[in-house]
Amino acid sequence: MAKNPLKQLAGETAVYGLSTILARIINFLFVPFYTRLLTTANYGVVTEFMAYIAVLQVVLTMGLETGCFRFANKEGAQPNRVYSSALAMVSGVSLGFFALMVVFAEPLAHLLGYDGYGSCMVYMGGILALDSITAILFAKLRQEHRAVKFAVFKTLKILVETGANILLFFPFVSLCSRRAAALGVDVSALTPSDVWLLHFVSPTPDFSYVIFAILLSCIVCALLFIPDLVRLNFEFDGKLLRRMLVYSLPLMVAALPGIVNDFLDRILFRFLDTNAEQWQSSLGIFQAAVKLAVIMNLFIQMFRFAAEPFFFQRAKDKGSKELYARVMELFTAFCALVFLGVIFYIDIISLLLGRDFRSGVGVVPIMLFSYMVLGMLFNVSMWYKLSGKTNMAIWITFAGLVVTLVVNLVFMPKYSYWAAAFGHLASYVVMFILSAVLGQKYWPVPYRWGRILGTLALMFLFYGLASLADTHLFHFAGWDTDRDLLWWKLGVHTVLLLGYLLSAWALLRKGIAPGASDGSDAGAVRQ
């Protein structure tokens, strides 16, 4: 009996999600940690570095993760040769980039205004090189459905980063204080001869701690793959690699404006948010608020890890398009639940932030919905990957980049991180509409837009009801300042959340996607 495809997707999503959940939970739990031990400006610098890393990694992997899925699933394909060729290419480019970062570390630090932090440039180069190489190895695990091993390696990487952060911010800081007291000098006067770790980080907590901890986790993750590399029967195929690059490079070019789009606002803070001190603080406040939307990102990341190979493997199945349509409906409904869940309990969730960071909580609903639209975009954009029309992605993502750039250029000087939040939303909406329209032209999927839009309408209806209750009942009565009565407010929100669940279930429970006549897929869609 054939395995139910939706059950397979759900099962792999859950396994991949174990590591992703852990990463996001730890990231979430570190929010009060960072927002209390770092200044808003220092947290802003961390955010800026993460933006550079995210953008550059897209370049270094060259879209070969998806290219490997495509070519390893072709009839008569040799997956070992596919991954060997991709690994050779990415390793060469990544290690070359790392060498350049080592050579130009100090000039680059000076250019960015971080004199004395050339080591952080080296760390960033190491992170990028190791993450790019292991990205191909993780893709191989996904291709082989070794989800458990994938999750274990990701989890160990997370635990190393967590442990390194804790050791640096607490025992190491304490050690430096004791050493300075013993020498009768200020902590800032300590040298590497006094404390060995000062070769790598500063004696007082700052952004270098976070960057160094990430580097250590990347080193450990790379070491975990050594047995896999030893067992790999290396088969480089130059002709195959060229074909893969022809397919993958357009995806990289398309992904680049997409990832730049995601992180452009972080970079623009430096130029558009008035004075030098303020822009780092504004960026730190914005990033802390974005972290509260981590639950939406959590589910979307879990889903993407499992869905991309799933979609490729099911592409030739009868009724596959109807299956994709049903997945889109269920995905939208669950994202709406996440959106409402976070918003309805934001009074409690926002306490995770340090007081200096809470002024940015107002952008959380905007960012939650932005990420929801981004997840929906992933679903409707599979058509150009499955049909091979990857060049179309370039124009879609470039359009989104233009929207982001315009919104931030026009509004960020006046509205700061509010412009950044709305820039994300406007960009993702434009890309979603373009991808959905073009997809129906070139590789049509029978999405039932009535159900999808109906789910969104339900989400906004219950969000609106909660807002009305908060404004005209709780706020009017002064309950928002009474901690004892806050539970009444949360109780009303819980009832509204249950109301959404029942309404969404009633909307989506009926029927099967149009045209799903194949027995196995039809059963899957029904379930």
What is the pLDDT confidence band of residue 301, given thresholds at 50, 70 and 90?
A: confident
Residue count of the chain, please give it: 527
Average pLDDT of the segment spanning 338-350: 91
For the chain, percent helix, then strand, then coil, each to nearest 5?
Answer: 85, 0, 15
Render pLDDT for 439-457 as a digit per residue (tens, 0 to 9): 888 888 899 999 999 999 9
d(CA 410, CA 426): 13
Residue 156 near residue 218, CB atoms below 8 Å: no
Would you state the torsion angle of the CA atoms of residues 257, 258, 261, 266, taken in this order, to the nearest 10 degrees?
-100
pLDDT for 482 equals 57
Residues 173 and 522: their CA atoms lie apart, in Å, by 60
Q: Which pLDDT does position 113 carry in this prediction?
A: 83
Q: What is the mean pLDDT of residues 211-229?
A: 93
Mean pLDDT of all residues in 108-116: 87
How far is CA 129 from each of CA 60, 203, 211, rounded to the nearest angstrom? 8, 27, 14
* 337 neighbors 43 (Cβ within 8 angstroms): no
* Predicted confidence (pLDDT) per residue in 408-443, tens digit: 999 998 888 899 999 999 999 999 999 999 988 888
Q: Which residues contact 127 (CB under 8 A, 6 or more apart)?
A: 53, 211, 214, 215, 218
Q: Give the whole-angstrom CA distance, residue 67 versus residue 385.
A: 9
Q: Report the sign of the C-alpha dihedral through residues 130, 136, 137, 142, in that order.
A: positive
Mean pLDDT on 183-206: 88
> In 3D, which of 306, 438, 420, 425 has the Cα closest to residue 372?
425
Answer left, alpha or beta for residue 59, where phi above 0 means left and psi between -120 and 50 means alpha.
alpha
Query: Cα separation of 268 and 290, whole Å?
Result: 16
Give me the phi and psi of 114, to 5 degrees please.
Answer: -120, 55
pLDDT the model gives residue 47:
86
Can you tell me which residue has the tokens 């990289």? 252
How much is the pLDDT for 515? 40
Task: Provide the pLDDT for residue 342.
Answer: 93
Q: What is the pLDDT of residue 77?
A: 63
Q: Is the pLDDT of residue 384 over 50?
A: yes
CA 189 vs. chain centroid, Å, equals 39
Q: Cβ contacts of residue 250 below 8 Å, gap of 6+?
A: 63, 390, 391, 393, 394
Which two structure tokens, joined as six digits, stand for 106? 């100090």
Residue 465 has pLDDT above 70, yes or no: yes
Q: Quick one: pLDDT at residue 517? A: 38
* CA separation for the pair 400, 403 (Å, rounded): 5
- Indicate whether 97 pLDDT > 50: yes
Asked if 126 and 215 touch (Cβ cutoff 8 Å), the reply is yes
As a whole number of angstroms, the distance between CA 318 and CA 326 comes to 14
Tokens of 223: 């070491």
- What's the pLDDT at 268? 87
- Span 36-59, pLDDT tens digits: 888 888 888 888 888 889 889 888
Residue 23 above 80 pLDDT?
no
Distance CA 93, CA 97 (A): 6
Mean pLDDT confidence for 181-188: 88
Is the per-residue pLDDT at 263 higher than 90? no
- Work out the pLDDT band at 510, boundaries 50, 70, 90: low
Q: Residues 6, 527: contact at Cβ < 8 Å?
A: yes
Lowest mean pLDDT among 109-113, 261-265, 381-385, 516-520: 516-520
Rounded Cα–Cα distance for residues 232 and 369 (Å): 43
pLDDT at 266 over 90: no
Q: Where are the alpha helices (DSSP H) in 443-485?
A: 449-469, 475-477
Q: Please return the burial class of 491, using the count of CB atoms within 10 Å of its CB with bins 0-12, 13-18 and 19+.
A: exposed
User: Residue 524's pLDDT is what?
Assistant: 40
DSSP code of 351?
G
Angle at 384 between CA 388 and CA 303, to 5 degrees: 120
Say yes or no to pLDDT of 298 above 90: no
What's residue 167's pLDDT?
92
> What is the phi-psi region of residue 478: left when phi exceeds 0, alpha when psi lies from -120 to 50, beta otherwise?
left
